[in-house]
């Protein structure tokens, strides 16, 4: 068993100012075999590029607010406001990005996580395996 105390992460300062801070909070060291989790603290005002995960993801917003944007197969952007207390389910393969207005969240996903960045004008084509 592992207890993750939300209040510790709500108060946490970013040890890497100017960059996203995304430490693992649930991993193999915790005897997690098919699941992993991380704390996500992006810089206020930052935006991620469209990407998708090969796995299902659940985000639990613990403070702040932001906008989650989904890219449909037809190329439409669908915006969803998120704020503290919200839980967001992202299906595997769904293209999405985040506009951050000082949002902090926990992200839980099947392990190992794989994020893919599609070849899109203006975006790098890269993969993240951490």
Three-state SS letters, 71-90: ECCCCCEEEEEEECCCEEEE
Count of structural domains, the chain: 1
**Residue 130 DSSP class:** -
Q: Is residue 92 part of a domain?
A: yes
- pLDDT at position 12: 92
- pLDDT at position 125: 40
Domain containing residue 90: CATH number = 2.60.120.10
Q: Is residue 112 part of a domain?
A: yes
Q: Is residue 77 part of a domain?
A: yes
Model pTM score: 0.83
* pLDDT over 50 at 122, yes or no: no
Using DSSP's 3-state secondary structure scheme, residue 36 falls into strand
* pLDDT over 80 at 127, yes or no: no
- pLDDT at position 95: 94
Q: Is residue 69 part of a domain?
A: yes
Q: Is residue 6 part of a domain?
A: no
pLDDT (tens digit per residue) in 73-105: 999 999 999 999 999 999 999 999 999 888 999
Q: Is residue 55 part of a domain?
A: yes
How many CB atoms sit inside 10 A of residue 15's CB? 9
pLDDT (tens digit per residue) in 12-66: 999 988 888 999 999 989 998 888 999 999 888 899 999 998 889 999 999 999 9
The parent domain of residue 76 ranges over 28-124
The phi and psi torsions of 112 (rounded to 5 degrees) equal -85, 145
- pLDDT at position 123: 40
Q: Is residue 67 part of a domain?
A: yes
């Amino acid at each position: 068993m592992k207890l993750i105390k939300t209040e510790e992460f709500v108060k946490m300062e970013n040890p890497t100012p100017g960059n996203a801070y995304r430490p693992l909070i649930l991993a193999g060291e915790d005897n997690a075999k098919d699941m992993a989790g991380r704390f996500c603290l992006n810089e206020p005002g930052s935006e991620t590029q469209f990407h998708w995960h090969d796995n299902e993801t659940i985000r639990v917003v613990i403070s702040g607010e932001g906008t989650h944007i989904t890219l449909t197969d037809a190329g439409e952007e669908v915006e969803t406001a998120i704020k503290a207390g919200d839980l967001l389910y992202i299906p595997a393969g769904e293209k999405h990005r985040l506009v951050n207005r000082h949002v902090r969240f926990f992200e839980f996903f099947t392990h190992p996580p794989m994020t893919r960045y599609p070849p899109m004008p203006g975006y790098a084509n890269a993969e993240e395996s951490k």
